[in-house]
Amino acid sequence: MQLTRAGFLVLLWLFVLAALRVVRSDLYAASGLRASGLPGFRRSEKSARGSKAPRQLVVTHGALTGTRISLDGRPILIGRADDSTLVLDDDFASTRHARLSMRGTDWYVEDLGSTNGTYLDRAKVTAPLRVPLGTPIRIGKTVIELRS
Amino acid sequence: MGSPAPTGEGSPGASVATSTSPGLKAPTRRGTELVMLSFAAGLVTLALILVELNQERSLSLRILYLGLAYLALFACAHLAVRRWAPYADPAILPCVALLNGLGLVVIHRIDLAMEGTVFLDGSTWDPVAFKQVIWTAIGLLLFAATLKFLPDHRMLARFGYTFGLVGLVALMLPGVLPGFIAPEINGAKIWLRLGPLSIQPGEFAKILLMVFFAAFLVSKRDLFTVAGRRFLGMDLPRARDLGPLFAAWGVTVAVMVLQKDLGSSLLFFGIVLVLLYIATERAAWVVLGLGLFSGGAIIAWKLFNHVQQRVANWQDPIARYEVIGGGYQISQSLFGLATGGIGGAGLGAGRPEMIPEANTDFITAVIGEELGFVGFAALLLIYMVFALRGLRGAISVRDSFGKLLGGGLAFAVCFQVFIVVGGVTKLIPMTGITAPFLSYGGSSLLANYILVALLLRISAAARAPQRVAKPKPQQPAIADQHTVMVERPK
């Protein structure tokens, strides 16, 4: 009887550990980082390979701060429309506000005829502009930037 | 004219990329979910076997069938997730399955214990475990239906105000209706009796009101964050923006007064406060809200007898052991937990018939007695994993309505567990609220399954690979375009 009692508790804890394992392996998948790519290791990996390709888009200011979108070569639409990649709830953003798209290895930002404009580090975006890593793009009250 | 280079090829290139790039496909992890569900079903079956053994009942193949039936039930839920929300979080459903299964086993175990006492003193007892199994099945049906008919959680935001109104009516209804429809059971007027069925509309109101508040805050968020002035290092909101907070406070107090339901009012107010905090990221709301709540609580304590009783029972339950409406319940629950100790008495070997309301409010005390501290801690960790995954989905979903709703739902479950376990262990005054997924009660179970479906929906939206935007006119008509010099991309 004692054995079954302890055995059940052990199994219960095994379930908890298994659940935590699922959580752990999933931790970075949702944010667009790979499970192996823990933040500490990522940096060294990057410098070793010397690649400067942006891998994710990070929202640094505004209501969606902290949101990350991983870049996989597909264009990213930003605006208030429901089908945008990054859906903004910002009175200063237009329905289809801006688009980020990839050409070669570089990302370009273009304004899709928004009312209040898109700014790439203080400069108003009137034509597609190349987006360097870590340069803030301001759309209404939201600021995003590309990171590797 | 220099055509905007990336525009020209962005969209068609992208649509090709989705159809022909299996390498980029995000893992759905449904297999993991199925494995975990089987694990949960195995644990539940084992728990049932232990109960039967410890109660010295004959073991038969029937138990195995019950376990398999349980697995089949959740396999159906799993298939529903696979079909309608393939990218949903893999850890949420197994956690719910285990909690619900353990709840069923413990309710069955309490039935056995109560049948024993009936045999001794001739009182009456209806076994309820089977009813709870039916409720579980209906809950899972509702769960699948929610996933099917709600392909996108943002659809809910459109009906925000409708949901708010319905939720408010549902919350207040038992308080204002006459006694023959809404009887006062155990001192709380939170039930609606419709023929043979009793439902607790407050459980559903919880979700409806959360949808309303999330939708409301998303549309009005700027008001709360921008306006206001600084005072004592906090950004205080303007007086007229305090409306929703005062409204929530008023409803809370009304629930407390009309329905004598302290737990629900605490839960409801906590949810509103957290949603406000998530939406605005301002500590001032929390400080103000807590101030309001303590003010309300002190006034309620001064005015109402039943609140005074609860507080007195909390301060010293043993001293008020003999008083009617006194500390008997909490004392018995504490005795149960003490009997359990570190390792527990073993499933089926405790004395749950000694604990009042063992299968609803005090079910965690029964579990604490039979599984001990070690098992109880595991149970709380399972709740934690559940809430963690809910919050994770809320963080990574890409729209603010989903963030608010997901955060609110995950927090609601967490807070409910805190209120009930805090009450049972004498950390806070006992308020009489169900433990999510564990307690006996149809309304609570159904509402919580809808809540799980919503959380899965949000996490599916967060984890699914981004949809490619529909092809559409890329740029304004050529006549509207201004001529610009474009740098040739290097």
Chain A contact present for B3, CB below 8 A: no
Residue A1 located in a structural domain: no
B408-439 pLDDT tens trace? 999 999 999 999 999 999 999 888 788 999 99
CB-nearest to A15 from B27, B40, B219 is B40
> For residue A83, what is the nearest residue in chain B, using CA coordinates?
B469
ipTM score above 0.90: no
3-state secondary structure of A145: strand
Residue A10 located in a structural domain: no
Residue A130 located in a structural domain: yes
Q: Is the pLDDT assigned to residue B314 strictly greater than 70?
A: yes
Chain A contact present for B463, CB below 8 A: yes
Chain A contact present for B388, CB below 8 A: yes
Residues A55-81, mean pLDDT to the nearest whole number: 83
Largest separation between any pair of C-alpha atoms in chain B: 95
User: In angstroms, rounded to a whole number, what is the distance separating the alpha carbons of residues B348 and B230?
Assistant: 58
Whole-model pTM: value is: 0.77
Tell me the residue range of the domain where A92 lies: 56-147
> From the candidates B95, B399, B403, which should be mutated to test the interface with A, based on the most A CB atoms within 10 A?
B399
Chain B contact present for A95, CB below 8 A: no
Q: Which long-range contacts (CB under 8 A, 24 or more apart) does B308-315 make?
A: B310/B262, B310/B429, B310/B430, B310/B431, B311/B429, B313/B429, B313/B430, B314/B426, B314/B428, B314/B429, B314/B430
- Count of domains in chain A? 1
Q: Which chain B residues contact residue A102 at CB under 8 A?
A: 6
Contact (Cβ atoms closer than 8 angstroms) between residue B431 and residue B202: no
Q: Which residues contact B180 (CB under 8 A, 6 or more apart)?
A: B193
Residue A40 located in a structural domain: no
CB-nearest to A19 from B5, B91, B468 is B91
Q: A110 vs B89: CB contact, 8 Å cut-off?
A: no
User: In angstroms, rounded to a whole number, what is the distance separating the alpha carbons of residues A137 and A60?
Assistant: 10
**Between B29 and B377, whose confidence is greater?**
B377
Q: Which of residues 35-54 of B touch A (CB under 8 A)?
A: 36, 39-40, 43, 46-47, 50, 53-54
Confidence tier at A148 by pLDDT (50, 70, 90): confident
The backbone torsions φ and ψ at residue A69, rounded to the nearest 5 degrees and listed phi first, read -125, 130
The enclosing domain of A106 has a CATH number of 2.60.200.20
Residue A110 located in a structural domain: yes
CB-nearest to A22 from B90, B378, B379 is B90
Chain B contact present for A48, CB below 8 A: no
Residue A129 located in a structural domain: yes
Q: A113 vs B18: CB contact, 8 Å cut-off?
A: no
Flag the least confident range among A9-23, A41-55, B159-173, B272-286. A41-55
Q: B89 vs A4: CB contact, 8 Å cut-off?
A: no
> For residue B480, what is the nearest residue in chain A, using CA coordinates?
A113
Residues B159-175, mean pLDDT to the nearest whole number: 86
Residues B139-157, mean pLDDT to the nearest whole number: 92
Note the pLDDT of residue A35: 38
Residues A8-24, mean pLDDT to the nearest whole number: 91
Cα of A22 to nearest chain B Cα, Å: 7
Residue A8 located in a structural domain: no
Note the pLDDT of residue A33: 46
Residue A27 located in a structural domain: no
Q: B385 vs A23: CB contact, 8 Å cut-off?
A: yes
Contact (Cβ atoms closer than 8 angstroms) between residue A80 and residue A97: yes
Chain A contact present for B140, CB below 8 A: no
B92-121 pLDDT tens trace? 999 999 999 999 999 999 988 888 888 777
Q: For strand A76-79 and strand A86-87, is the pairing parallel, antiparallel, or unpaired?
A: parallel
Angstrom CA distances, A141 to A91, B149, B224, B340, stand at: 9, 34, 15, 55
B277-308 pLDDT tens trace? 888 777 777 888 888 888 888 888 888 887 88
